[in-house]
Amino acid sequence: MKRILSIFLCLALILGFVPRETAYAAVEWPSDISISADGGILMDINSGAVLFEKNSHEPYYPASITKILTALIVIENCGLDETVTFSNTAVNTLEPNSSILGARAGDTLSVRDCLYALLLQSANEVANALAEHCAGSMDAFAEKMNEKAAELGCTDSHFANPSGLNDPNHYVSAYDMALIAKAAFNNPTFVEIDSTTYYDVPAGKLMQYPDGWRYYAHHRMLRRNDSLYYDGVIGGKTGYTSLAGNTLVTCAERDGMKLVAVVLNGHQTHYSDTKALFDYGFKNFKSVPVADQDSTYSKVADDLTISGIFSGSATRLTVNKNSAVTLPADGSFSDVTSTLDYDLTDDAPDGAIARIDYQYGDKLVGQAYLEASVTQGYVPGAVKKSDSAAETDADSTVSENANTNISDTESPSETAAAGTSDKQTDRSSKKTDKNKTSWTSSPAFSIIKKVMIIIAVIGIIGGMIFGVMIYQENKAQNERILRHQRREKRLKEWGYSSTEFDMIMEEHLRSKAGIKQPGFWERIKNRFRRR
């Protein structure tokens, strides 16, 4: 009877969390788009929302769109006025008929000159020279490329060289390339260079062109006098090799919405595919600032003392102002659901307490950070005794107990008994040593010893393999733990415990009539989706 009652109560609770149907269904996600390329994606740079994707996580050869990542790394690590000297390796290790500037060993250009040649002319010897200048060698630069890609969230890519020339270990997915492009087009220096249609190499810089040289951008959608020009294009990068086919990355902006289109393994349709993606995006979607619409999180009251929980009256939580969501053109923000996520990455703002994920149906349409700020005169962590102080007290208590145990002495009787026992042990051990000598010298012992060594070696190897497997399985879990610890640290700085903050936010959400929160089943689906 009790079991039946328990099941009934569980069902009642579950049904209570099931979201109610709204009077009007949300506008469906537009789907009137297709491309001929094998892989592609359309992403809103401001929100990170994916508006269209085709095989977006499949790896493809990128060709020269690789140079977007190369340029971004150089811009972040080198001064534009630094001098780059071209080595024999940089100019003489190129594939036949690959795109070049015409530099020779011993030529010198500024980093700025090289970046224009890299992005506009797609010069491969320039890519090599920049890599050597930035990291010391092309192999070392490739390591920087993979580190930067991982930092940006790329998981389906690997880079082996700075140019994008054919290499079986050099590949990228459309989604990862969009993340790289997003970072690049948020860099003002990159945009300034990449949006240029032509550039003049100064006279006296190149042996082959002593009077200087003018070259033009390869991206045809950027040039106004070209039949493929597209209004709103900011910049981009072309690519082609025999293995990669046509690849193209393009960024365009209209009406405050900035989109990046990636086309991989195109079949001479990379420009028409890109145009189709942009037409689809600008026609069917709109960008909505979160701070103007989200009444749930946009202004959490200064006094967060809720339900008897004192949380620091001088603390204020706000949504960062630059956040946006991307919705269907006829969609409403009221149809968006939000979820708090405390797993903060390293690139989160300094004052961030949590990340807000916004979803439209099953689509992630944007993210924002809930940031903490204080009024003048408030000192973070001064609200109550810090956790670190409590930990110190606990440690000292443990230390005192340990010292007490160590200082305990034995009684005289126990000492005498121990002395007698030692003498007996010595006599018995002498007899045992004789037996040991004869046994250890036997052939049987030698064989057993060898077998034991082999078993030990096999065990060590097996243990190493098992250790690698465990490491791979626990890597994601460890990352989540680190992010959780980062969140706990930030909360501690503002005088919160994790439990207190969760209770505060739950109470706040119940008191607000803002955007709807996901029900029980939606929360379950979202959790598995994020994993």
State whether the Cα torsion 443-447-450-452 is positive or negative: negative
Closest of 155, 149, 172 to residue 247, by C-alpha: 172
**According to the model, what pLDDT value does residue 531 have?**
46
Spot the catalytic one: 67, 148, 182, 237: 67
Expressed in angstroms, the distance from the first to the final Cα of the chain is 38
CB 356 within 8 A of CB 344: no
**According to the model, what pLDDT value does residue 511 have?**
59
Show Cβ contacts of residue 261 under 8 Å, excluding neighbours closer than 6 positions: 40, 41, 42, 248, 249, 250, 251, 252, 273, 274, 277, 278, 281
Supply 2's token pair.
Answer: 């009790």
**According to the model, what pLDDT value does residue 405 have?**
45
DSSP secondary structure letter of residue 220: G
Spot the catalytic one: 47, 56, 99, 122: 122
Report the alpha-carbon distance of residue 301 to residue 318 in Å, rounded.
9
Kind and range of the H or E run holding 289: strand 285-289
Residue type, 75: I
Full strand arrangement of the beta sheet holding 352-360: 299-300, 315-319, 363-374, 352-360, 337-341
Spell out the domain ranges in the chain: 39-286, 294-384+489-530
**According to the model, what pLDDT value does residue 190 have?**
98
Q: Which CATH architecture has domain 39-286?
A: 3-Layer(aba) Sandwich (3.40)
**According to the model, what pLDDT value does residue 412 have?**
41
Is residue 67 flagged as an active site residue?
yes
Report the alpha-carbon distance of residue 453 to residue 10 in Å, rounded.
57
Spot the catalytic one: 64, 173, 287, 338: 64
Q: What is the pLDDT of residues 136-195, one digit of tens each?
A: 999 999 999 999 999 999 999 999 999 999 999 999 999 999 999 999 999 999 999 999
CB atoms closer than 10 angstroms to residue 454: 10
**According to the model, what pLDDT value does residue 525 have?**
59
Is residue 122 flagged as an active site residue?
yes
Q: At what angle do helices 67-77 and 174-184 cross, to 10 degrees?
A: 40
Residue type, 112: R
> In a structure prediction context, what are the per-residue pLDDT tens digits for the chain, which is 531 residues long?
444 434 433 443 343 334 434 445 688 999 999 999 999 999 999 999 999 999 999 999 999 999 999 999 999 999 999 999 999 999 998 988 889 999 999 999 999 999 999 999 999 999 999 999 999 999 999 999 999 999 999 999 999 999 999 999 999 999 999 999 999 999 999 999 999 999 999 899 999 999 998 999 999 999 999 999 999 999 999 999 999 999 999 999 999 999 999 999 999 999 999 999 999 999 999 999 988 887 777 555 444 433 344 444 445 677 877 889 999 999 999 999 988 887 777 667 777 888 889 999 999 999 988 877 655 444 444 444 444 444 444 444 444 444 444 444 444 444 444 444 444 444 444 444 545 545 555 666 677 777 788 887 787 887 777 776 677 667 666 666 766 666 667 666 666 666 766 666 666 666 554 445 555 556 555 555 544
CB 47 within 8 A of CB 324: yes
Is residue 64 flagged as an active site residue?
yes
**According to the model, what pLDDT value does residue 442 have?**
61
Environment class of 114 (CB within 10 Å of its CB; exposed 0-12, middle 13-18, buried 19+): buried
**According to the model, what pLDDT value does residue 444 have?**
65
